[in-house]
Homo-oligomer: A and B are copies of this chain.
Amino acid sequence: MALPNGPVATSSEAEAVLFDLVDVYDRAYEAAAAEVSLSSAQACVLGRLDERRGMGALAEELGCDASNITQIVVRLEALGLVTREPNPRDRRARLVARTPRGDEVNQRFATAFTFARTAIGRLSPDEQDQLTALLRKALG
């Protein structure tokens, strides 16, 4: 997603800031992924492999088709960042796991994605709590 998601016609200021936040966040995420030569989707999947897990679990968590995950994982595998081992308990299934290089790249990505950290860091601890509470309420 290079194109931003909004604004339609921001009626309130809060809405406009919300849009700004989302836009900047998304771009920062993509830029951080690019720094380690990954797409957003690849970085996302790689980041969810702190423990090995099945393709189906990934698809469900990420809310997309299983075949989409297959492709992304195949690419990550080709890059040497993950492995797909057979699941001994179920030979239909595959267990995806990060390789050491995958760990390293994921770590570098996490370091490069400073946006959320930095943004939150601009707030005092009290303000952070306020923000958390407000966003929770807004999210319903």
Contact = CB atoms under 8 A, between A and B. Distances in A.
Interface of A: 1-15, 17-22, 24-27, 29-30, 40-41, 44-45, 47, 50, 62-64, 68, 72, 106, 109-110, 113, 116-120, 122-123, 127-132, 134-140
- Copies of this chain: 2
A66 to B, nearest CB: 13
A22 B25 contact: yes
A116 B109 CA distance: 29
Given A26-B26, A134-B134, A116 B40 contact: no
A15 B113 CA distance: 12
A131 B120 contact: no
Nearest to A106: B8
